[in-house]
Amino acid sequence: MQGDEGLEAGVAPPQESGASPQGSTNTENTFNLSNSILGSAILAMSYAIAQAGLVLGTLLLTASALMHHASLSV
């Protein structure tokens, strides 16, 4: 091809930009991970309660909360 002298086939030339690439901070990473976990947990919990029924789902959720509280106080 014309005008592509000196370029390797299949390799794009480096982009020259005034802005340097930025990574994310540990705080941003923690926030994104927490959002991912909590978002899927909220969806899974509502599905589980819908499958178990309102009464049994509420009982299971309460039992889970009590076990969680007991394990934290050990």
Question: Is residue 14 one of the residues assigned to a domain?
Answer: no
Packing angle of the helix pair 54-72, 26-52 (nearest 10 deg): 140
Task: Note the pLDDT of residue 11.
Answer: 77
Question: Is residue 68 one of the residues assigned to a domain?
Answer: yes
Task: Note the pLDDT of residue 23.
Answer: 84
| Tally of CB atoms within 10 A around 52 | 14
What string of pLDDT tens digits covers the 74 residues of the chain?
A: 555 555 566 777 776 666 556 788 999 999 999 999 888 888 999 999 999 999 999 999 999 999 999 999 87
Question: Is residue 22 one of the residues assigned to a domain?
Answer: no
User: What amino acid occupies position 6?
Assistant: G
Nearest alpha carbon to residue 43 among 54, 35, 32 = 35
Q: With contact defined as beta carbons under 8 Å apart, do 49 and 57 qualify?
A: yes
Q: What angle do CA 40, 62, 46 make, to 5 degrees?
A: 30
Question: Is residue 9 one of the residues assigned to a domain?
Answer: no
Number of domains the chain contains = 1
Considering the entire predicted model, what is its pTM?
0.48
